[in-house]
Amino acid sequence: MIEKLKQIVLKNKDRLFYVCDNECITYYDFWEKIKYYSYYLKRQGTGPVIVYGHKSVNMLISMFSCLLAKRTYVPIDISVPRKRIEDIIRITNADLFIKNEEIDNFKIETLKLDELVKYHDELEKESISKYVYIVFTSGSTGEPKGVPISNDNLENFINWISNLLYNNKKVNVLNTANFNFDLSVADMYYSLFNGHTLIAMDDLNYDSMFLRILKANVIVATPTFVKMCLLNPDFNDKNYNNLKTIYFCGEKLEVQIVKRIYERFSKIQIINAYGPTEATSAVCASIITKSMLNNNILPVGDVSSAATIITIKNNEIVLSGKSVFDGYLNSADGFFIDSGDKYYLTGDLGYIKDGLLYCSGRCDNQIKYKGYRIELEEIENVINRIDGIVDSCVVPKYNENGVVKYIKAYIVGNRQKDDILKFLKERLPLYMVPKSIEFLSKLPINENGKVDRKKLINL
pLDDT at 307 over 70: yes
- Tens digits of residue pLDDT in 383-394: 999 999 999 999
- Tens digits of residue pLDDT in 94-125: 999 999 999 999 999 999 999 999 887 777 88
The three-class DSSP label of residue 334 is: coil
pTM: 0.90
The CATH classification number of 152-362 equals: 3.40.50.12780
Residues 6+ apart with CB under 8 A from 329: 91, 92, 134, 145, 146, 147, 148
Q: Spelled out in words, what is the top-level CATH class assigned to the domain 369-457? A: alpha beta
CA torsion through residues 187, 188, 189, 191, sign = positive
The predicted model gives 266-275 an average pLDDT of 96
**How many whole angstroms separate alpha carbon 283 and alpha carbon 306?**
6
- Tens digits of residue pLDDT in 37-72: 999 999 999 999 999 999 999 999 999 999 999 999
Whole-number pLDDT of residue 415: 93
Whole-number pLDDT of residue 22: 85
Percent of the chain with pLDDT over 90: 80
Residue 350 burial (CB count, 10 A): 20
Nearest CA among 76, 78, 117 for reference residue 101: 78
Residues 6+ apart with CB under 8 A from 446: 452, 454, 455
The predicted model gives 25-38 an average pLDDT of 97
Nearest CA among 436, 439, 420 for reference residue 382: 420
Among the listed ranges 112-126, 193-207, 325-339, which one has the minimum average pLDDT value? 325-339
**How many whole angstroms separate alpha carbon 388 and alpha carbon 413?**
6
pLDDT at 140 over 70: yes
**How many whole angstroms separate alpha carbon 249 and alpha carbon 275?**
8
Name residue 218's beta-bridge partners: 173, 245
Asked if 171 contacts 192 with a C-beta cutoff of 8 angstroms, the reply is no
Whole-number pLDDT of residue 206: 66
User: One fold for both 23-129 and 369-457?
Assistant: no
One DSSP character per residue, 160-213 reads HHHHHS--SS--EEEE-S-TTSTHHHHHHHHHHTTT-EEEE-----HHHHHHHH
Residue extents of the structural domains in the chain: 23-129, 152-362, 369-457
- Tens digits of residue pLDDT in 203-234: 766 677 888 899 999 999 999 999 999 999 99
**Which residues in 146-183 are b (16+ Cβ under 10 Å) and which e?**
bbbbbeebbbbbbebbeebbbeeeebbbbbbbbbbbbb
**How many whole angstroms separate alpha carbon 437 and alpha carbon 133?**
36
Q: How many Cα atoms occupy the beta-carbon half-sphere of 97 within 13 Å?
A: 22
Architecture of domain 23-129: 3-Layer(aba) Sandwich (3.40)
Asked if 103 contacts 112 with a C-beta cutoff of 8 angstroms, the reply is no
Nearest CA among 255, 262, 257 for reference residue 293: 255
Among the listed ranges 74-78, 287-291, 367-371, which one has the minimum average pLDDT value? 367-371
